[in-house]
């Protein structure tokens, strides 16, 4: 069975999580954030220790490990009736992050469209994340060197994911706008795509 999915992309701090939560609340789409899944792992677990090792250095978790954790989490949602693949749609946030991951998820996903939140100025992102660190207490957002390492990883690896999909399935949105404007623009794309596909 293929899981119908929207993908949301953008550098750290572009607002993917905020938009994802709002889309889930207004459209019924199931927002699935890899970052949230990772942060929810027990720190003492093998997976938790491994994820912490990479994220604390600003590096991406290896593809195979990411896919194993993601697969277990998704199966758990289906098994506990929190996601019905026959009628529900996923919004994947942080997955896939590399070209290899696009190939690994291809057998289980039907990618409907990609939403890309662009912020061309890294300084805006650094300021946003440091502000978020103070509010949410996220250590990985407080250290500028780690933030810039994450941005470099995004540009080097995650951005290459977009080359794996046809241009007509990609919409770029200005992530530097206000949260309400970004949500409005993103919601418009989701409505348009679902209407065109009869979903």
Q: Which residues, in sequence order, are bridge partners of residue 92?
A: 7, 32
Mean pLDDT of the region 88-93: 93
Q: Where are the domains of the chain?
A: 3-33+87-194
Confidence of residue 4 (pLDDT cuts 50, 70, 90): very high
Mean pLDDT of the region 123-142: 74
* Predicted confidence (pLDDT) at residue 135 exceeds the cutoff of 70: no
Residues 6 or more apart in contact with residue 126 via CB below 8 angstroms = 13, 144, 147, 148
CATH number of 3-33+87-194: 3.40.50.300
Query: The pTM is what?
Result: 0.82
- Check residue 115 and give its pLDDT: 96
190 CB-side CA count, 13 A: 26
Q: Left (φ > 0), alpha (ψ -120 to 50) or beta: where does 113 sit?
A: beta
- Check residue 147 and give its pLDDT: 80
Q: Are 176 and 119 in contact (CB under 8 A)?
A: yes
* Predicted confidence (pLDDT) at residue 108 exceeds the cutoff of 80: yes
Which of 149, 193, 160, 185 is CA-nearest to residue 15? 185
Buried b (16+ CB within 10 A) or exposed e, 33-43: bbbebbeebee
User: Cα separation of 125 and 148, whole Å?
Assistant: 9
Q: Which phi and psi angles does 89 have, rounded to 5°?
A: -120, 140
Q: Tell me the per-residue pLDDT of 18-47, one tens digit each, with 9 for 90 and over.
A: 899 999 999 999 998 887 888 888 888 878
Joined tokens for residue 22: 């709002």
Q: Tell me the per-residue pLDDT of 60-85, one tens digit each, with 9 for 90 and over.
A: 788 888 888 888 888 888 899 988 98
Q: Tell me the per-residue pLDDT of 165-191, one tens digit each, with 9 for 90 and over.
A: 999 999 999 988 988 999 999 999 999
């Amino acid at each position: 069975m293929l899981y119908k999915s929207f993908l949301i992309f953008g550098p750290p701090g572009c607002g993917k999580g905020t938009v994802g939560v709002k889309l889930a609340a207004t459209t019924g789409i199931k927002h699935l954030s890899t970052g949230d899944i990772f942060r929810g792992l027990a720190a003492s677990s093998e997976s938790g220790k491994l994820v912490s090792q990479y994220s604390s250095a600003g590096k991406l978790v290896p593809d195979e490990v990411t896919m194993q954790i993601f697969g277990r989490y998704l199966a758990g949602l289906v098994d506990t009736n929190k996601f019905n693949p026959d009628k529900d749609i996923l919004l994947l946030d942080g997955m896939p992050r590399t070209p290899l991951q696009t190939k690994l998820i291809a057998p289980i996903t039907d990618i409907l469209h990609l939403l890309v939140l662009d912020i061309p100025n890294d300084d805006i992102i650094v300021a946003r994340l440091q502000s978020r660190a103070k509010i949410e207490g996220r250590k990985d957002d407080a250290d500028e060197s780690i933030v810039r390492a994450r941005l470099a990883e995004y540009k080097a690896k995650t951005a290459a994911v977009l080359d794996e999909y046809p241009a007509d399935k990609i919409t770029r949105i200005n992530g530097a706008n206000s949260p309400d404007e970004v949500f409005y623009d993103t919601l418009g794309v989701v409505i348009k795509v679902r209407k065109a596909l009869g979903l």
